[in-house]
Amino acid sequence: MGEIRQTTDVESMAPSRKKERWMLITGGAGFIGTNLAHRILSEGRPVLILDNLSRPGVEKNLNWLCDTHGDLVRVEVADICDSSAMDRAVTQADAVFHFAAQVAVTTSIDNPLLDFDVNVQGTFNLLESIRRRNNRPPLVFTSTNKVYGKLGNLKLIQGARRYEPADGRLRESGINENFPLDFRSPYGCSKGAADQYVLDYSRIYRIPATVFRMSCIYGPHQFGTEDQGWVAHFLIQALSGKPIVLYGDGCQVRDILFVEDLVDALLTAREYIGRIAGEAFNIGGGAGNVVSLMELIDYITELGGKRPEVQSAEWRTEDQKYYVSDITKFRAMTGWLPAVSTREGIRSLWNWLSGALLFANENPAARETMARPLN
């Protein structure tokens, strides 16, 4: 495996070509960060990954990036709550993609202080580091659909396999950015606060920043858990011969977005930042890429040739019965649309996970790492 090249000196972190700056990705060792970094690095652009490696196993993603891309990869092993480390990382950033976060509602309920420190204080540190620069780099921040709360006021119709809105426009288009914010759970509050800080710093300090309120993202390099990355988690459980636990009735609906389409959206946001700065966008697969929990289990049955064991459990706190992103606003301002269909993307992830789990089974030293979340 390649060696993670950690550095803490700004001069030594500088790209070899004197006038070229790096793309900074916070949380870059995670699922989305790894996929974005790989795309940028494949185009010959240097990337600095800032990550505290708090999730066991994420160093495998960094090793893979270093093996694949060599000296174009730089790593700052640091916490986003460390303002000095953030200042160093931002110093020569050409653009910033901010993914570092506490990502689970359940964890936020168990440890709200940690959730606040990472999601609010960490984002504030980044904004201040950018504000202090004369030439402020563009910032793309990934927020969450949880800023809209439980959406309990939506009138829903429950069919045999999924919920659908009674309102025809919502069925056709999904939830747009005009829906009122309703922060629920410590996670919803912390991500919502960070979301609003980014938008306000863009207005007040003219930071070229935009916010993605994201739905469910899935794809290679994701080892989902019950708390985060449910599409991958369902597939992993089925491939491992383990039961899938449905919290609630299984008719919950989400729009899902393949990670390569998200990477396209992130880079498109960077390209159009002059037009979209100060705006928030609902980003997901949209109304064309909708699936319920039970429908995903049906498709897993097709892929694997047998139905996985399914167990039932009580509804989880603040779970949304229906959430589908209306992606009209971002499409209108940039032209972006998802290209990978739900069935195509799920099959791609199934094949990737099959290979990853086979590798883990054949390599005992890797088995423990593969069982841990990397998203």
Q: Residue 328, SS3?
A: helix
Q: What three-state secondary structure class fits 38?
A: helix
The residue among 281, 306, 291, 283 whose CA lies nearest residue 344 is 291
In whole angstroms, what is the distance from residue 236 CA to residue 227 CA? Answer: 14
CB-based contacts of 29, cutoff 8 Å, min separation 6:
49, 51, 53, 55, 58, 59, 61, 62
- Rounded Cα gap, residues 327 and 275, in angstroms: 16
DSSP, collapsed to helix, strand or coil, labels residue 295 as: helix
Number of neighbours of residue 319 by Cβ within 10 angstroms = 12
Check if 218 is active-site: no
Which of 181, 107, 108, 178 minimizes the C-alpha distance to 151?
181
CA distance 17 to 45: 10
How far is the CA of 235 from the CAs of 29, 75, 119, 321, in angstroms? 22, 31, 29, 21
Please pick, among 148, 187, 197, 322, the residue that the annotation labels catalytic: 187
Residues annotated as catalytic (active site), given as ranges = 187
